[in-house]
Amino acid sequence: MPIDAERVRPAVLLNPLAGDPTDADSHIGGPMLWPIDDPWPHCDGSAHDPSSGGEPFVGAVQLYRRDFPELPFPDGTDVLQVFLCTLHHDLPNGYGPDVRLVWRDSTTVFELIEEEPEPSEQVEQYVPTVNVLEPIRFAEHGDKVSGGTKIGGWTAWSGPVEFPCVRCGAVQRQTLSLATHEPSGEDVEWEFGDAGNLNVLTCPEDVTHPVAVYVD
């Protein structure tokens, strides 16, 4: 693994707190800003363990650019929507939910979906409670990695790992980490791995390239 010269990276703890967000808010587990004429994301079921049918993804996290300008929003987008397929999927180092990112322009959404589709079955440990976010910005040192839900910063690797982008080969970068336990003690009540984190890495060249998902 090449030595990373920049040992300090900006990071934002999302700091979730139980609340009642709307689709116009940044949140975990709340309603998504989803247009009525856009097909809701579905999992094809091919990576399920054990294999079962395709299920709708579940809206897990929504982050507006006005609240989280640190995220690598592509031009013309202002909200990141994170979806989970809440069934066990085989991941590089174990299993966890599958992750889908949607980078959206909220100003083009006029008529919303009436009801978000619900999966016929879910693994309870991957289903979040409903939370608003009270972000805390900090500089994260590579040797002292926060275990909370955050954007940016470092991945709490149990060993040195790099994920090259399957599309272009660039080394992917830590973008979002969803945590079993929050520093505040106000957990979202989902659990990843052995009380660990679900880390989502994106391509630094193009965030619409396929993400890497790693449970630590």
Instruction: Give the interface with Zn ion as residue ranges (CB under 5 A).
Output: 43, 85, 87, 98, 165, 167-168, 170, 203, 205, 209
Read off the amino acid at residue 19. G
Q: Is 114 left (phi over 0), alpha (psi -120 to 50) or beta?
A: alpha
Torsion angles phi and psi, residue 80, rounded to 5? -105, 125
Residue closer to Zn ion (CB basis): 109 or 127: 127
Taking the least distance from each CB to Zn ion, the nearer of 64 and 163 is 163
77 vs 172 by CB, closer to Zn ion: 172
The residue (of 38 and 90) whose beta carbon lies closer to Zn ion is 90
Q: Both tokens of residue 46? A: 């091919």
- Beta bridge pairs of residue 156: none
The distance of closest approach from Cβ of residue 90 to Zn ion in the complex, given in angstroms and rounded to an integer, is 10
Residue whose CB is less far from Zn ion, 98 or 187: 98
Instruction: Give the nearest distance from C-beta 206 to Zn ion in angstroms.
Output: 5
d(CA 70, CA 13): 12
For residue 48, what is the DSSP state?
A: B
Minimum distance, C-beta of residue 116 to Zn ion, in the bound complex (Å)? 16
Q: How far is the CB of 148 from Zn ion (least distance, A)?
A: 26
Nearest distance in Å: CB 166, Zn ion: 8
Question: CA–CA separation, 178 vs 198, rounded Å?
Answer: 5
How many whole angstroms separate alpha carbon 173 and alpha carbon 150? 13
